[in-house]
Amino acid sequence: MIKLIYLLWPREPMAPARRREVLLGRCAPELLDSGARYLTMNIDDEFSTVPSPTPTTKLHDPFVAEVSMWVDDVEARGDLETTLLDAGFDIAGYRVREHVYTDYGGNRHGAPRDWPDGQRSPAVISVTPLERPRRVSKTRWMAHWFNRQGPMSEKMQPRSRYVRNIVDEVLTPGAVPYAGIVEESWPSAEHIQNPFVFYGARNRFELFKNMAIMGQSVATFLPIWKITSVTMSEYFVRSRHG
């Protein structure tokens, strides 16, 4: 199966609760009927109240949802995209390869998933698209992301789930040509808002040291001034193990 990710922006003002109602109540059934085998929706809804651990620096409004679908044929995605467009969203679509670095229950920061499909996940989700600077070759960029940034941040930070999506193809006209999209799950708001917890530090010395390590690593392969990261509610609408 092929994983598709769509980032969504409402064309007209849409309240957070309305985003959730439209996506889960209207779009999800249509997407499943139109060929999505599995479906996950991360939505900046009324329950998503925690500021992003990586504040958005872009001047325009960030995306308000990430819709992930698994399909058999990428060329048969027309009805899927139409469903999102007709619901009032502008979309940026990507064909990706998913790499689950850590799933729920895979480390000491979270228990295995025990909630059913359709129910909001208890974790706080942050979604961050990644741009590759022109100065960094794709080979070097991938090596740093997978061999340095991923393992370092996993060791340092209290994530309960970490998914890396490599973008293989940009599907929609005008979409930013991201190289990757990261989905990170945090056990609670405290794990994001308390810098000592977020950076795995026991004291101020470790805090400043770990912040420097993280900052240096991120600056090596990402344009920091262009990073967009959004915290969201996670909904496994239909999963392999739901």
The span from the CA of 174 to the CA of 188, in Å, is 35
Query: Which letter does DSSP use for residue 12 in this model?
Result: S
Q: How far is CA 89 from the centre of its chain?
A: 18
pLDDT in tens, the chain (242 residues): 999 999 999 999 999 999 999 999 999 999 999 999 999 999 999 999 998 877 665 546 789 999 999 999 999 999 999 999 999 999 999 999 999 999 999 999 999 999 999 999 999 999 999 999 999 999 999 999 999 999 999 999 999 999 999 999 999 999 999 999 999 999 999 999 999 999 999 999 999 999 999 999 999 999 888 888 999 999 999 998 76
Q: Which H or E run includes 192?
A: helix 190-193
Kindly report the backbone phi and psi dihedral angles of residue 29, in degrees, each rounded to the nearest multiple of 5, phi listed first.
-60, -40
Query: In degrees to the nearest 10, what's the CA dihedral of 29, 92, 98, 57?
Result: -120
Q: What is the total residue count of the chain?
A: 242
Question: What three-state secondary structure class fits 38?
Answer: strand
Question: Contact, 237 vs 120, CB < 8 A?
Answer: no
The span from the CA of 13 to the CA of 6, in Å, is 19
**What pLDDT digit, counting tens, does each position of 135-178 carry?**
999 999 999 999 999 999 999 999 999 999 999 999 999 999 99
Q: From the options 3.30.70.100, 3.30.1600.10, 3.40.50.300, 3.40.50.150, give the CATH code of 2-238.
A: 3.30.70.100
Question: What three-state secondary structure class fits 141?
Answer: helix
